């Protein structure tokens, strides 16, 4: 028996944003490992599609419609899950959106949506679930979706980058809080590199400046052509979480390179350097 099966089989997994992208891949992998998967997504239809895929593969799953941008929705999710299942072994705060556009051109509503989904969804997911996890007295695992973008800068992806820097800091502090309180809850920062997902599809850009579509098309094509297979990346994520690692990567070499650049930037305190890719896909 592999370590991930040993750790997770028979437990309950709650994954937000599991109707698409990395969330779907994580939910399907959790189902393969023998977990009962709560597929939470703002789009109930796509959540049900993920549930159907898990069930077809022989797993157990249920869909719950949840808007993670609303803290009370995460309270409701936690209340429902613990009433039905008594304990949660795996919580992954995954829900997120990409936003493209220059800082001053992104509309207020899109800025607020990005902050509320990507950052507040993680914070309030933890706030809603952790007290119940503690009360259960059982060992549990929490994964928060960071990104290689948490260690760099990218013009015209500012809103997304800001949230991932913040999620990374939040996860580091949360890890120390669990250690300080000697709680049996393991915290991981999940750091995807370039993976084949639909985060840059055109439909995801609702509310962005009109000129953002060229940037989205270029990024989508690059991820499609050079990105890592989604199922393989999600397998690696849960394997590493099962080993109680804080740092969880899809492509550790990519992470090492980008984090190394961040260390150099902070040590030398230079002005921010323009990524080569930024000039190629610059928003007009």
pLDDT of 82 strictly over 80? yes
Which residue, 68, 158, 161, is CA-closest to 106?
158
* d(C-alpha 199, C-alpha 196), whole Å: 9
Range scoring the smallest mean pLDDT among 66-70, 75-79, 88-92, 224-228? 224-228
pLDDT of 180 strictly over 70? yes
Q: Which two tokens stand for residue 71?
A: 């803290």
Residue bearing tokens 């779907």: 24
In a domain, 278, yes or no: no
In a domain, 279, yes or no: no
In a domain, 284, yes or no: no
User: Residue 275: what pLDDT?
Assistant: 85
As a whole number, the mean pLDDT across the chain is 92
pLDDT of 218 strictly over 90? no
Residue bearing tokens 């023998």: 34
* d(C-alpha 102, C-alpha 104), whole Å: 6
User: Residue 225: what pLDDT?
Assistant: 62
In a domain, 107, yes or no: yes
Mean local confidence (pLDDT), 96-123: 96
In a domain, 139, yes or no: yes
Name the percent of the chain lying above pLDDT 90: 81
Range scoring the smallest mean pLDDT among 78-87, 131-140, 228-237, 241-250? 228-237
User: Residue 203: what pLDDT?
Assistant: 58
In a domain, 218, yes or no: yes
Q: Which domain CATH number covers 141? A: 3.40.50.720
pLDDT of 281 strictly over 70? no
In a domain, 282, yes or no: no
* d(C-alpha 76, C-alpha 144), whole Å: 20
In a domain, 144, yes or no: yes
User: Residue 214: what pLDDT?
Assistant: 64
Mean local confidence (pLDDT), 205-225: 65
Helical H runs in the chain?
3-8, 21-32, 44-56, 71-85, 108-115, 121-136, 158-180, 212-226, 230-242, 252-268, 276-280
Q: Name the domain count of the chain.
A: 1
Measured CA distances, 84 to 67, 88, 127 (Å) = 20, 10, 19
User: Residue 33: what pLDDT?
Assistant: 98
Mean local confidence (pLDDT), 82-100: 96
**Structural domain boundaries enclosing 76:** 3-270
User: Residue 277: what pLDDT?
Assistant: 75
Please state the length of the chain: 284
Q: Report, in angstroms and rounded to the nearest whole number, the Rg of the chain calculated over CA atoms.
A: 18
Mean local confidence (pLDDT), 67-79: 98
Q: Which two tokens stand for residue 249?
A: 């990567």
Give CA 244 to chain center in angstroms.
17
Residues 6+ apart with CB under 8 A from 229: 195, 196
The pTM score is 0.93
């Amino acid at each position: 028996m592999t370590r991930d099966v040993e750790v997770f089989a028979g437990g309950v997994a709650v994954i937000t944003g599991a109707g698409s992208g990395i969330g779907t891949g994580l939910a399907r992998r959790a189902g393969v490992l023998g977990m009962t998967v709560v597929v939470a997504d703002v789009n109930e239809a796509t959540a049900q599609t993920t549930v159907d895929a898990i069930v077809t593969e022989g797993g157990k799953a249920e869909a719950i419609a949840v808007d993670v941008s609303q803290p009370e929705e995460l309270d409701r999710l936690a209340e429902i899950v613990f009433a039905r299942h008594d304990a949660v072994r795996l919580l992954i705060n995954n829900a997120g959106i990409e936003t493209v556009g220059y800082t001053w051109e992104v509309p207020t509503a899109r800025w607020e949506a990005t902050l509320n989904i990507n950052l507040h969804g993680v914070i309030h997911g933890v706030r809603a679930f952790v007290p119940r996890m503690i009360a259960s007295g059982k060992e549990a695992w929490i994964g928060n979706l960071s990104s290689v973008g948490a260690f760099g800068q990218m013009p015209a992806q500012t809103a997304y980058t800001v949230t991932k820097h913040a999620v990374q800091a939040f996860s580091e502090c949360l890890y120390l809080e669990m250690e300080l309180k000697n709680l049996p809850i393991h915290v991981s920062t999940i750091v995807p590199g370039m993976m084949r997902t639909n985060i840059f599809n055109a439909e995801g850009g609702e509310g962005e400046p009109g000129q953002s579509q060229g940037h989205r098309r270029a990024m989508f094509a690059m991820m499609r052509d050079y990105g890592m297979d989604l199922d393989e990346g999600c397998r690696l994520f849960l394997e590493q979480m099962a080993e109680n690692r804080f740092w969880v990567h899809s492509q550790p070499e990519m992470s090492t390179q980008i984090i190394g650049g961040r260390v150099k930037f902070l040590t030398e305190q230079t002005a921010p350097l323009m990524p080569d890719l930024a000039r190629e896909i610059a928003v007009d």
